[in-house]
A = this chain, B = another copy of it.
Amino acid sequence: MPEAQYPEIRTLALFSGMTDAHFEALMRGAYVQNFPPQIDLISEGEPSDFLHVVLSGSIDLYSEWNGRETSMATVLPISTFILAATVRNAPYLMSARTLEKSRIVLIPSQDVRAIFDVDGNFARAIVGELGQCYRAVIKAQKDLKLRSSLERLANYLLRQQKRAGGAADFDLMFEKRRLASVLGMTPENLSRAFKGLQPYGVAVNGTHISIRDQQDLERFARPNPLIDDHAI
């Protein structure tokens, strides 16, 4: 892998604490690849051969069972995915596909495990990352089990609004079909859910969202940091 790419990867919390020697050992076996949109990168059930790092673009993590499919999460630059499968040397639990043209670093899993075995700082960084991932899934599960689809959508919009800077107007980051799957509903139901939020001052125009009455929407959504705050 070309050294020019190193800096942006090195700045990741996961890699910033390790020694130069270990980092370079990791990068030696790694390579960067560009993928077009809608390309399957990994399939659930396969052995975890590579740790992936998204440099640009975006990735959909999804799962299938019995002919059904659901989006589990979206990975945005710059971050890694399938870390847990790599460190446990276990099969992937989710599949991954590019949503758009994406630039991905592939680091052989055995190299990650080898460095992990000898570099305490790397192990500690992985703990930080895994702990965050774990807590993110717990939050998602609380969202799913404790809220109706209308409440999930309302809180999703409030989270997106905050991510987009907090203004009353912002744009959805991906297509509604996928949003529906992430929120655990059908596209039809999402359409109706948007209508169901109109009384609370939510206006939708394509991917553009306007929150006319912040107070009103929040009164309905009842956002909770232990579910919605991704920083803690």
In the assembled complex, the Cα of A21 lies from the Cα of B146 at a distance in Å of 44
The list of the 7 closest CB pairs from A to B, nearest first, reads A120-B120, A123-B123, A65-B146, A130-B130, A137-B137, A84-B131, A70-B145
Task: Answer yes or no: A232 CB below 8 A from chain B CBs.
Answer: yes
Task: Answer yes or no: A68 CB below 8 A from chain B CBs.
Answer: yes
Q: Chain B residues near A116 (CB, 8 Å)?
A: 124, 127
Q: Mark A126-137, 1 if CB is under 8 A from B, else 0.
A: 111011111101
A94 near B132 (CB under 8 angstroms)? no
Task: Answer yes or no: A168 CB below 8 A from chain B CBs.
Answer: no
A selection of 14 A-B contacts at a CB cut-off of 8 Å is A44-B226, A45-B226, A70-B145, A72-B138, A87-B131, A88-B132, A88-B135, A90-B135, A116-B124, A123-B124, A130-B134, A137-B138, A137-B141, A144-B144
Q: A65-B224, A72-B138 are in contact. List 12 more A-B contacts (CB 8 A).
A: A44-B226, A70-B142, A70-B146, A72-B145, A84-B131, A84-B135, A87-B128, A91-B226, A91-B232, A93-B142, A94-B138, A123-B124
A142 to chain B, nearest CB (A): 5
B93 near A138 (CB under 8 angstroms)? yes
Task: Answer yes or no: A117 CB below 8 A from chain B CBs.
Answer: yes
A227 near B65 (CB under 8 angstroms)? yes
In the assembled complex, the Cα of A49 lies from the Cα of B164 at a distance in Å of 34
B-facing residues in A92-143 (Cβ within 8 Å): 93-94, 116-117, 119-120, 123-124, 126-128, 130-135, 137-142
Task: Answer yes or no: A205 CB below 8 A from chain B CBs.
Answer: no
Question: Known contacts A123-B123, A144-B144, A145-B144; is A88 also within 8 Å of B137 by CB?
Answer: no
